[in-house]
């Protein structure tokens, strides 16, 4: 475990040097981290004074191998906020350990972030949803069969038994709902709220499995986010989670699905998603 802590420090120090070399200065410290899911990486291209750092160049940093995940950090300013954005993420199903999956969370925490925005593409299990909706994550159900906090705990990272009663920040969710009611979003954002079920993947689920998860309270399903959110709360970060509902995953009405279809809907939803996130960053009160 000491080796893991050393790797976090090594990676953070490397990124810090690149931030300085990129012209942001040695006083630049990001306050908000963002993880952009499948098809949603465009937001990272809008960062100003941007410093780009490929995952593969960072010591000990796992590589993203999935289509639609660019695999780089973007550090800079967006809507007046100092941000560090992951264009792409690490998935458990890629063969990484849970510790590797959440490694970037602890690196971003070490670099100074206090809040984390985590996004994903998800299947909608709630019959009131539709493909193209956005869903604020109110809570999650961990169906991965694993937990990133298993093993020795270092107090430098977080407490041994972190509370998970309110992972997804209520103030952030209320603020996003307020933004989504503004006239500018009337025709571009259909905002829902619900419980995200995180599975290991990479196979899409069977009708029986989807029916079971809907019965136990799941509103959307995906193959990410849950490990990252757990690690973020362990690290004391405030978390905002947003799912892009790319398809309907109703067990009794299930149709064949491909990754290309998921990416296509994410692409159509992207303008509203980006506008909402930028409005959140631009208007978020100091007290948040």
Convert the pLDDT of each residue in 117-173 to its tens digit. Answer: 999 989 999 999 999 999 999 999 999 999 999 999 999 999 999 999 999 999 999
The answer to whether residue 73 is domain-embedded is yes
Asked if 87 contacts 41 with a C-beta cutoff of 8 angstroms, the reply is yes
- Number of domains the chain contains: 1
Asked if 29 contacts 59 with a C-beta cutoff of 8 angstroms, the reply is no
Rounded Cα gap, residues 90 and 82, in angstroms: 23
The answer to whether residue 167 is domain-embedded is yes
The answer to whether residue 234 is domain-embedded is yes
Each residue's pLDDT expressed in tens, for the chain with a length of 288 residues: 689 999 999 999 999 999 999 999 999 999 999 999 866 778 889 999 999 999 999 999 998 887 655 789 999 999 999 999 999 899 999 999 999 999 999 999 999 999 999 999 899 999 999 999 999 999 999 999 999 999 999 999 999 999 999 999 999 999 999 999 999 988 888 999 999 999 999 998 999 999 999 999 999 999 999 999 999 999 999 999 999 998 888 877 777 767 787 777 777 888 889 999 999 999 886 554
Query: DSSP letter string over 20-75?
Result: HHTTS-TT----EEEEE-TT-GGGGGG-EEEEEEEGGGSTTPPPP-STT---EEEE
The answer to whether residue 60 is domain-embedded is yes
The pTM of the full predicted model, rounded to 2 decimals, is 0.94
The answer to whether residue 100 is domain-embedded is yes
The answer to whether residue 288 is domain-embedded is no
Which range of residues forms the domain containing residue 208?
2-283
The answer to whether residue 271 is domain-embedded is yes
* CATH code of the domain covering residue 217: 3.40.50.1580
The answer to whether residue 15 is domain-embedded is yes
């Amino acid at each position: 475990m000491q080796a893991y802590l050393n790797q976090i420090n090594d990676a953070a120090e490397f990124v810090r040097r690149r931030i300085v070399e990129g012209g942001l200065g040695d006083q630049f410290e990001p306050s908000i981290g963002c993880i952009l899911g499948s098809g949603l990486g465009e937001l990272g291209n809008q960062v100003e004074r941007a410093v780009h750092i490929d995952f593969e160049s960072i010591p000990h940093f796992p590589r993203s191998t999935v289509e639609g995940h660019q695999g780089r950090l973007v550090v800079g300013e967006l809507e007046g906020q100092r941000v560090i954005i992951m264009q792409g993420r690490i998935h458990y199903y890629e063969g990484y350990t849970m510790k590797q999956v959440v490694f970037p969370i602890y690196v971003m925490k070490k670099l100074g972030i206090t809040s984390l925005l985590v996004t994903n593409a998800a299947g909608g299990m709630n019959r009131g949803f539709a493909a193209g909706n956005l869903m604020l994550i109110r809570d999650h159900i961990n169906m991965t069969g694993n937990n990133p906090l298993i093993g020795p705990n270092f107090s430098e990272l977080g407490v041994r038994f972190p509370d998970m009663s309110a992972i997804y920040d209520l103030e952030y969710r209320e603020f996003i709902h307020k933004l989504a009611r503004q006239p500018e979003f009337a025709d571009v954002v259909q905002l829902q709220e619900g419980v995200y079920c995180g599975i290991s993947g990479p196979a899409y689920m069977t009708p029986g499995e989807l029916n079971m998860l809907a019965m136990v309270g799941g509103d959307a399903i995906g193959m990410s986010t849950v490990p990252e959110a757990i690690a973020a709360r362990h690290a004391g970060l405030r978390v905002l989670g947003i799912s892009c509902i790319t398809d309907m995953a109703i067990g009794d009405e299930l149709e064949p699905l491909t990754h290309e279809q998921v990416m296509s809907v994410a692409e159509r939803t992207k303008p509203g998603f980006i506008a909402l996130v930028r409005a959140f960053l631009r208007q978020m009160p100091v007290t948040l």
